């Protein structure tokens, strides 16, 4: 990977902040200060029971080991690369461009907005390579464990969603624990002081410390904007729950992989 320059890094940060600010300007109803956005964000956060998602893996990564860095880094890179594909499926499957417009806002950021050097999976790969996670080790872990992470299941639930509302619910479910995902990854990657200093200053982590709350707000706003009936909200919630189940299985699998690699 070719690391971005410091100038590109600063421009990227300014661009992300501009996107967040301008979206608030043009969002007449559902900005982050909207009482409905706050209410439903709290509701879905509670519904997800986020602490339970990280219960097992949290016990492992609370101890600093390079093994945890290799495993979490390897498989988060795979998720990060898959996420734009799943969002693309979602944008293709909804039945109107109005919904599609709001779905692609997050997808556009994941793919670097207008700069291909800022594609998020690539930034993450730069970050883990900077602290010593090698291609050889990643390939070894992938060949042994990739099937345990449930990525095929995630693509399946998006492909099989039966309504616009269910699709939108799946998307919020994938974002609802975004801040906790980033914190878990950060904890796993910072196995010593040198790694901590490198990781916290990478473009990937600087972007995600800024953008995740806005991604959640966008998905909650879609719930409010497009799911007005009881039936639509029920279907949205069903999709949301499927994503939460994915996350629980994903992080539990990560814990299991850590355990199995620790005794090799």
Write out pLDDT tens, residues 201-222. Answer: 888 888 887 788 889 999 999 9
**Tens digit of pLDDT for each residue in 152-170?**
999 999 999 999 999 999 9
Has residue 8 got a pLDDT over 70? Answer: no
| 223 vs 27, more confident | 223
Look at residue 25 in the predicted model and tell me its pLDDT: 44
* Cα 236 to Cα 217: distance, rounded to the nearest angstrom: 15
The alpha carbon dihedral of 175, 179, 183, 184 has a sign of negative
72 is written with which tokens? 């979490």
Residues 6 or more apart in contact with residue 23 via CB below 8 angstroms: 31, 105, 214, 218
- Under a CB-based contact definition with an 8 Å cutoff, are residues 189 and 195 in contact? yes
Give the end-to-end CA distance of the chain in Å, rounded to a whole number: 30
Backbone angles phi, psi at 232, to 5 degrees: -65, -40
Has residue 137 got a pLDDT over 80? Answer: yes
Has residue 1 got a pLDDT over 50? Answer: no
Range picked from 8-22, 131-145, 205-219 for highest mean pLDDT: 131-145
In this prediction, what percent of the chain has a pLDDT beyond 90? 74
Look at residue 211 in the predicted model and tell me its pLDDT: 80
Look at residue 14 in the predicted model and tell me its pLDDT: 62
Look at residue 112 in the predicted model and tell me its pLDDT: 81
Q: What is the mean pLDDT of residues 232-260?
A: 98
Has residue 5 got a pLDDT over 80? Answer: no
* Cα 172 to Cα 222: distance, rounded to the nearest angstrom: 9
Query: In the predicted model, what is the mean pLDDT of the chain?
Result: 90
**Tens digit of pLDDT for each residue in 189-199?**
999 999 999 99
The CATH code belonging to domain 65-262 is 1.20.910.10
pLDDT level of residue 186 (50, 70, 90 thresholds): very high
Look at residue 66 in the predicted model and tell me its pLDDT: 98
Predicted TM-score (pTM) of this structure: 0.90
Look at residue 33 in the predicted model and tell me its pLDDT: 86
Look at residue 169 in the predicted model and tell me its pLDDT: 98
Look at residue 75 in the predicted model and tell me its pLDDT: 98
Has residue 187 got a pLDDT over 90? Answer: yes
Look at residue 30 in the predicted model and tell me its pLDDT: 87
Q: What is the mean pLDDT of residues 106-118?
A: 84
Residue of 184, 57, 65 whose CA lies nearest to 133: 65
């Amino acid at each position: 990977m070719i690391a971005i320059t410091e100038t590109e890094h600063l421009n990227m940060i300014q661009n992300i902040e501009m996107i967040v600010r301008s979206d608030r300007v043009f969002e007449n109803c559902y900005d982050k200060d909207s009482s409905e956005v706050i209410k439903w964000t709290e509701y879905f956060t509670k519904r997800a029971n986020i602490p339970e998602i990280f219960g097992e893996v949290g016990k492992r990564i609370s101890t600093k080991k390079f093994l945890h860095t290799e495993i979490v880094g390897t498989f988060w890179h795979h998720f990060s690369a898959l996420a734009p594909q799943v969002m693309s499926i979602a944008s293709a499957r909804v039945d109107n461009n109005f919904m599609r417009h709001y779905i692609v806002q997050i997808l556009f950021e994941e793919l670097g907005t207008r700069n291909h050097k800022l594609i998020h999976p690539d930034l993450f790969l730069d970050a883990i390579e900077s602290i010593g996670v090698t291609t050889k080790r990643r390939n070894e872990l992938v060949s042994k464990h990739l099937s345990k992470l449930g990525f095929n299941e995630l693509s399946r639930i998006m492909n099989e969603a039966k309504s616009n509302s269910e699709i939108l619910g799946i998307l919020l479910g994938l974002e609802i624990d975004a801040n906790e995902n980033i914190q878990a990854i950060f904890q796993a990657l910072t196995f010593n002081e040198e790694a901590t200093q490198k990781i916290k200053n990478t473009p990937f982590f600087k972007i995600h410390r800024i953008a995740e709350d806005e991604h959640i707000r966008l998905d909650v706003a879609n719930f409010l904007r497009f799911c007005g009936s009881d039936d639509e909200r029920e279907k949205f919630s069903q999709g949301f729950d499927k994503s939460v189940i994915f996350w629980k299985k994903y992080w539990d699998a990560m814990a299991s992989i850590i355990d199995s690699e620790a005794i090799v």
